[in-house]
Copies of this chain bind each other. A is one copy, B any other.
Amino acid sequence: MQFDEVVQKAVEGTQGAVAGLLMGTDGISLAHYVKPDAGLEMEVVGVEYASLLGEVRKVSEILESGEVREVTVSTDKYVVIVRAITPEYFLALALSPNGNIGKGRFLLRVQSPEIRKEL
């Protein structure tokens, strides 16, 4: 499996998506794809969200709500979807606020088992 292809497919397959990556929770990227006109540094975004995912996991542990599957953050400029793949890796997709969030979530979810097998 080409991780780069998976990430690119998720970006290209989601209307309004501008960038995506597969990253370790240590902030080291395994694969990323950024549309030419994206106007954001996806790896920088990923590093911040890697750290945020750690915070979300702490909250989930405190509340005994089990494993964190997904985190979606909507801001004025972007929507970022983070899908936990394993405890060590996650997929992230950045979309414009009017992008198809449902499609993005779907693509990350269905690709997770495939990627998990390879990690």
Contacts and interface: CB of A to CB of B under 8 A. Distances in A.
Interface string A99-114: 0001000000000000
A54 B87 CA distance: 24
- Stoichiometry, copies per complex: 2
Contacts of A55: 52, 55
Interface string A63-77: 111111111111111
A1 interface: no
8 contacts: A49-B59, A67-B75, A67-B76, A69-B74, A69-B75, A71-B73, A72-B72, A102-B102
Interface of A: 40, 44-45, 48-49, 51-52, 55-56, 59-60, 62-78, 102
